[in-house]
Chains A and B, each alone.
Chain A
């Protein structure tokens, strides 16, 4: 349900376009920064809540997310784009313990009805536009990286 907190034990993925992916395939902290869009700043960092998908394996979860991304990016997904996987509790703790203002981020469920529908869509709340350091802290908690483009 919209606004529900994603449990600390659960996992989220963040789509990282090719420009934010390093040559070795790891993810830059820039992928975890809010964007200034036309006349406004993003309210939160878009992610997907994997356990909400109700799949039986990580592979199935990632395949589902790849499908959602393919539907969203109708122009196609570049091969260098990646999906970064994070554990909610580890990421929030790392940021809280290491940011200068002990930042309390929150991951909240933000289901999107679409099109395309994205029921596991969630958001990392509590970031500010200038948070380069926090972006780098989040990047250091990335557990796994997958291609954003499904096979």
Chain B
């Protein structure tokens, strides 16, 4: 997503925390907010921050002003690191800044861009490009969850772009899929739930990187008064295959039952 921001030029900007991302115009205020967040986490000792600010420019050049802002943030993080205590320190593997120049050349770059898409961009795509009949309601719900995650940070991790990307991929892979209940895990992952009754329940947490954790409650095909229950981990691509024995599509797809 490119912002014609208050800064000079056109920039793709993403504030990233704990491998999750959300889009925000990259302004001095945003950077100051990030600095305050890191400082607050340090003071509260309540979490291990992995605050990353990445700036991806759409051209090879970035303005001096953006560069100055980044350097200022770098200095702040450096000083925070110097304030190391026994109870708090920046993670050693912390990736502080990423400056990537986007090229619009081959498919691998496009894949990279897709994987790194901001949450706002993904939600916009759900609203405008999705073939899902409930795309508008879903986009509204996702925006609501983004808002919740921002308000409840740091107890609540920001909505994960990777999780959201896998979630939308899954929705588009199931013909005539019905609208799920969508909630956020504490880690910022999307969890989709299709619950028709106490014995017809299918829940999937999209862990990102094409991994899922699922739960199924389903009537036994031979003894319907008995409920089969199963949970497990699956790749995104094999998820439907793994839950097929439990006939989840009977209540996940609109056209069934």
Contacts and interface: CB of A to CB of B under 8 A. Distances in A.
Interface of A: 17-24, 26, 28-30, 33, 35-39, 78, 80, 98-100, 130, 132-133, 136-137, 140
B155 A38 contact: no
Contact of A22 (B152, B183, B201, B214): B183
A19 B183 contact: yes
Centre residue among A23, A37, A80, A130 by max chain B CB count within 10 A: A23
Which 7 A-B pairs have CB atoms at the shortest separation, nearest pair first?
A: A19-B184, A133-B231, A18-B148, A22-B181, A28-B183, A38-B48, A38-B47
B152 A18 contact: yes
A28 B201 CA distance: 12
Contacts of B181: 22-24, 26, 28
Interface stretch (B4-12, B97-105, B185-193): B185-193
B191 A30 contact: yes
Interface in B182-230: 183-187, 191, 193, 198, 201, 203, 205, 213-215, 217, 227, 229-230
A136 B198 contact: no
A93 to B, nearest CB: 14
Interface residues of B, number: 32
Contacts of A100: 229
Centre residue among B48, B144, B193 by max chain A CB count within 10 A: B193
B18 to A, nearest CB: 11
Nearest to A133: B231
B145 interface: yes
Contact of A136 (B149, B184, B217): B217
Given A18-B152, A30-B184, A140-B198, 6 more contacts: A18-B148, A19-B145, A22-B183, A38-B46, A132-B213, A132-B231
Contacts of A20: 183-184
5 contacts: A19-B156, A24-B181, A30-B186, A36-B187, A39-B48
Centre residue among A39, A133, A140 by max chain B CB count within 10 A: A133
A137 B141 CA distance: 24
